[in-house]
Structure 1
Amino acid sequence: MADEDLERPVVSRNGTQLPAYTKTYYFKQLIDHTNPSLGTFSQRYWHTYEFYEPGGPIILSTPGEVDASGYTSYLTNSTLNGRIAQELNGSTIVLEHRFFGSSNPYDDLSVSSLRVHTVQQAINDLAYFAQHVQLPMPGGDAVQPGNAPWVLMGGSYAGALTSYTMANATDVFYAAYASSAVVQPIVNFWGYFEPIRQSMPANCSADIAAVIAHVDTVLTANVSADVLALKKTFGLDGLAHNDDFAAALQQPLYSWQSLQPDSGPGQAFYKFCDALEVKNGVGAPAEGWGLDYALATWGAYWVNTYFAQICGHDDDETCLGTYDTSSIFWTEDYTPNAARSWDWLTCTQFGFDFTGAPINQPTIASRVVTPAWTERQCGYRFPGAWGSSADVAAPNAGALLAAYSGWNTTTSRLIFANGQRDPWREATVAADGATNAGSTAQPHLLSDGFHCSDLLVREGAASAKVKAVQDQAVEIMKGWIAEWAPSA
């Protein structure tokens, strides 16, 4: 749906003119659910009752770690949220997550302020909102849980939050849908690159793996002249630290996710692969061109095209270096700053450090990059958060797993949906190592999609398997909502 359409007044199915989808509302949310005496902050939300009829579900979602004002399309039937609302006579809500956008309990992102930025506080936000909001619609003061079936939906981190909330706030949300839900907190998250390696063109994968193996050999031997020559191949001889250089080579791989599902199959990613694999108009065979050609062409691509795209006019160290502790970048605590707010959650709870694969696994990311590379930066960003020493700046992923069960949640009326080509797949219930196969009460739906593909109706039009997941989800929700009975 085009932005201009979101800003126009909405006409309900009975002909009533409603506010535009972009109309912003505010809810008084508790700053700290363990200490209500600290007061409240204004949490933004967006809402429509375009398709609502009494008895229909209230469908709540949060986009998670972003400014939610850009996600008002999730009120509409261009998304699975809106399609479910349309077919089940529901109302849709988008709620902004604390510490993102304009929903900030405090006016800075200091360590002191971020103490109330936890997964559990976010779970409590969702529950408290559902229990206390008076929605701006007829009868909106009488649709709290117990009076109406509430459905919680989310994707990626918000998908994990959906699963965690269903496990933790068991009497609030009747049913839920979690897309690409990263429920399994993993510190050494080398699995991020596995779906990319498995799904990308074989020739590109082979040549990237060959280059990375060479990079790791040179960096591990650490012969100064050889290391300098290697860095010069990529025009990165200004990077002083070898792990920064190794981490920089991960950058082209991230475009596999960043253009999914919004722009079709990763144009930036495939431009990178084409630079390596197309020679004189001819594509490489499945085994690639081999190390020498791949190294030279990848280096030329960095020097002539890619570095300027990601770094602009910055030098190597300014753009890609991570060791300058004097840089104000680390502790800029203004709001909003979505990157810093998300870093707090990964540094303290989730982990998700993007590393090279174990030695017995093929890898397209350097093994020189370890969790220590990320955790050092966590210490720079949030000094004092782990005590007096940055050396202990490690996420407590174990506590998160123990609290909400990760892959092994037994929650009922919770749909998990995943895409086989999602780089986050290995943190979801669809991971190769996950043993939870799902059940009738907890369906696990799998398509050939990417990250959160199933939440967008247009992705169903592009893939029959994504469409099948969407259709199945709607039918499951219809059955569950038909069984709901008020308890209030």
Structure 2
Amino acid sequence: MLHLLAALLAAAPLTQCFSHAAIPPLPIPPRISAGDGARLHSQSGEELPPVDTVYTFDQLIDHNNPGLGTFQQRYWSNWEFYQPGGVIVFNTPGESNAEGYMPFLTNDSINGQIAQAHNGATVMLEHRFYGFSNPLPDLSVESLRFHTIQQAIDDLEYFAKNAKLPFPGGDQVGPDKVPWVLVGGSYAGALTAFTNVNKPGLFAAYYASSAVVESITNLWAWFEPVRLHMPQNCSLDVQAAIARFDSILTGKNQTAISALKASFGLEDLAHPEDFAVALKNNLWAWQFLGPSSGDDASVFYDFCDALEVVDGANAGPNGRGGEYALAAWGKYWTDGYYTSLCGDMDAETCLGSYNASDTYFTSTAIDNYDRSWMWIVCNEMGFFQNSAPFPHPTLVSHVWQDSDDERTCQLFFPTAFPRPTPPPVERTNFAYEGWNVHTTNIYFGNGQRDPWMYATVSSPFTYVPDTPEQSIGLSEGGFHCSDMITLEGQCDASVLAVQKKGLAAIARYLAEWKAAKTGAY
């Protein structure tokens, strides 16, 4: 899921590089803070509120019908570097409860670096229908009709024009008075680009990291950066194991099918489609990688070690073959991975996708990012992550198809989808330009190891030129949203180059904004 990718910033330890990094860590930029964790203003030394202090804003429930009233939208702010007239660095973490994203407010992130360089304050707005910023008290289909990309864009505009920010002079910092920079990563990166397309001139500059601007029904190429950049022997063995897996699971030998399920401890999983999609979990762990990912990286590399390492000896570059790899994969599941994934739940409860009464699908309680994100997946963006088309190499099974994802949408929202229906991605791409984006004052930062790269402007499936007005940086060593994390640049020179290019582009856009305001042109 896309929201898990954005979690890298929140989850990454921000003090050391992961041992797989090829480049030694560089010094962390200094940050002024009080001993108890509260911030001190960089100039006055005044103690500021902790960055996790919650503020609220009266946001419109429906921007098309203001008469419906408002709801309390949560936001956070840090003004340790702020001087009057400085930049406002604005972002939403997107599809998640925002409480875990405090680094977006500090110079542990690109947001804070921009604020520090331009005497600015950082502001983070929780996206509607995530966390506790809900226009209505549940996540029913009736409520979620106000959960759209356009409503989220309108939230950003309405907040910027009307919020009275909680620092001295914060009631006089609208985007018509001081420059604002909208920053986002992943879905929020796409939202950043969409806002620039939809409301040109609203903000002075935009920084979009790993921005998934092109909505795609089946983003099978999510797995291409994984296939190409994971250890070669592991990649070949996973491909061979999946080919063998599909041959057994689609065959008529029930004894072999039962034995295969038993080898993974999944005897009571009723449907072959659910067995097929369950194995994606091992590959989805790639989204947490990066030089600063620390122990999170072990989830993926432990999986490869289980397939390739025997008695301390790693397999050669060609791996150990599909038969061995599939058996080793099953043993990895039964040796503890299943428990880490499902706890004490049985397989059908944990991994099944056919039970329409399962509370996972039916609960409408708030602060359920899976349900909120699936609404956007099913209605606007797609991003199903399935097998590559034949005869392209694939890391995942062909047994689970797009139709199964459409069925999942139906399970989540049966009244909205009385029958399985493909997401209308063409409509989204038409509205917000997708790969055809052509705008100004925006910087796109991407990484070649990012599994979402094929939905960005750096996708090999398209060509978006790198221009001064719409600048693009691509790092060879970058993973998902790597350029948003200060430490990632300190651990990888290619990521650092993307960060520097982005900071230079933002500085140029801000200078142009100020020149236009003062009539210097």
Letter in 2 for 1:167: V
Q: Which moved more, 1:81-90 or 1:468-477?
A: 468-477
Counterpart-to-counterpart distance in 1, 2:39 and 2:122: 16
Instruction: Specify the alignment match of 2:384 in structure 1.
Output: 353
Instruction: Specify the alignment match of 2:370 in structure 1.
Output: 339
Q: List alignment gaps of at least 5 residues for structure 1.
A: none
Instruction: Specify the alignment match of 1:300 in structure 2.
Output: 331
Shift of 1:327: 2.0
CA contact (8 A) 1:10 1:20 kept: no
| Counterpart pick for 2:354 among 292, 300, 323 | 323
Shift of 1:165: 0.4
TM-score (norm 2): 0.90
Instruction: Specify the alignment match of 1:12 in structure 2.
Output: 42
Counterpart-to-counterpart distance in 1, 2:72 and 2:290: 32
| Counterpart pick for 2:446 among 418, 430, 437 | 418
Deviations 1:296-353 (A, max 9, x none): 2111111122111101111111111111122232110011111111111111111111
Identify if the C-alpha distance between structure 1 residues 321 and 347 changes in structure 2 by more than 3 Å, giving closer, same or farther.
Answer: same
| Counterpart pick for 1:119 among 135, 149, 157 | 149
Shift of 1:226: 2.6
| Counterpart pick for 1:237 among 260, 263, 267 | 267
Shift of 1:5: 7.1
- For the pair 1:427 / 2:427, whether they are aligned, the reply is no
Q: Which moved more, 1:454-463 or 1:44-53?
A: 44-53
CA contact (8 A) 1:32 1:116 kept: yes
Letter in 2 for 1:65: E
Identify if the C-alpha distance between structure 1 residues 222 and 353 changes in structure 2 by more than 3 Å, giving closer, same or farther.
Answer: farther
Shift of 1:269: 0.3
Counterpart-to-counterpart distance in 1, 2:93 and 2:433: 22
Shift of 1:7: 4.7
Aligned-partner SS, 1:391: coil
CA contact (8 A) 2:447 2:453 kept: yes
- For the pair 1:444 / 2:444, whether they are aligned, the reply is no
CA contact (8 A) 1:85 1:92 kept: yes
Counterpart-to-counterpart distance in 1, 2:98 and 2:307: 38
Shift of 1:438: 2.4
Aligned-partner SS, 1:304: helix
Q: List alignment gaps of at least 5 residues for structure 2.
A: 1-13, 16-32
Counterpart-to-counterpart distance in 2, 1:373 and 1:192: 17
Letter in 2 for 1:84: I
Aligned-partner SS, 2:129: coil
Instruction: Specify the alignment match of 2:116 in structure 1.
Output: 86
Counterpart-to-counterpart distance in 1, 2:453 and 2:34: 34
- How many pairs are equivalent? 485
- For the pair 1:288 / 2:316, whether they are aligned, the reply is no
Residues 63-82 of structure 1: pairs in structure 2 closer than 5 A: 63-82=93-112
Q: Which moved more, 1:221-230 or 1:240-249?
A: 221-230
Instruction: Specify the alignment match of 1:380 in structure 2.
Output: 411
Letter in 1 for 2:420: D
Q: Which moved more, 1:10-19 or 1:330-339?
A: 10-19
Instruction: Specify the alignment match of 2:164 in structure 1.
Output: 134
Counterpart-to-counterpart distance in 1, 2:463 and 2:35: 44
Aligned-partner SS, 2:470: coil
Instruction: Specify the alignment match of 1:170 in structure 2.
Output: 200
Identify if the C-alpha distance between structure 1 residues 179 and 13 changes in structure 2 by more than 3 Å, giving closer, same or farther.
Answer: same
Counterpart-to-counterpart distance in 2, 1:356 and 1:99: 31
Letter in 1 for 2:222: Y
Shift of 1:71: 1.3
- For the pair 1:34 / 2:64, whether they are aligned, the reply is yes
CA contact (8 A) 1:30 1:36 kept: yes
Aligned-partner SS, 2:101: helix
Aligned-partner SS, 1:343: helix
Aligned-partner SS, 1:257: helix
Instruction: Specify the alignment match of 2:30 in structure 1.
Output: none
CA contact (8 A) 2:106 2:112 kept: yes
Deviations 1:367-412 (A, max 9, x none): 11111111101101111113xx2333x3111111110011220011
Aligned-partner SS, 1:418: strand
Identify if the C-alpha distance between structure 1 residues 196 and 145 changes in structure 2 by more than 3 Å, giving closer, same or farther.
Answer: same
Aligned-partner SS, 2:217: coil
CA contact (8 A) 2:57 2:73 kept: yes
Counterpart-to-counterpart distance in 1, 2:370 and 2:420: 22
Aligned-partner SS, 1:484: helix
CA contact (8 A) 1:419 1:449 kept: yes
- For the pair 1:104 / 2:134, whether they are aligned, the reply is yes
Counterpart-to-counterpart distance in 2, 1:482 and 1:452: 26
Aligned-partner SS, 1:214: helix
Instruction: Specify the alignment match of 1:481 in structure 2.
Output: 510
Aligned-partner SS, 1:182: coil
Instruction: Specify the alignment match of 1:402 in structure 2.
Output: 430
Identify if the C-alpha distance between structure 1 residues 166 and 332 changes in structure 2 by more than 3 Å, giving closer, same or farther.
Answer: same
Counterpart-to-counterpart distance in 1, 2:74 and 2:91: 12
CA-based RMSD of the aligned residues comes to 1.8
Percentage of matched positions with identical amino acids: 48
Deviations 1:440-488 (A, max 9, x none): 1111101111111111111111001111111121122112211213659
CA contact (8 A) 1:259 1:267 kept: no
Shift of 1:168: 0.3
CA contact (8 A) 1:380 1:390 kept: no
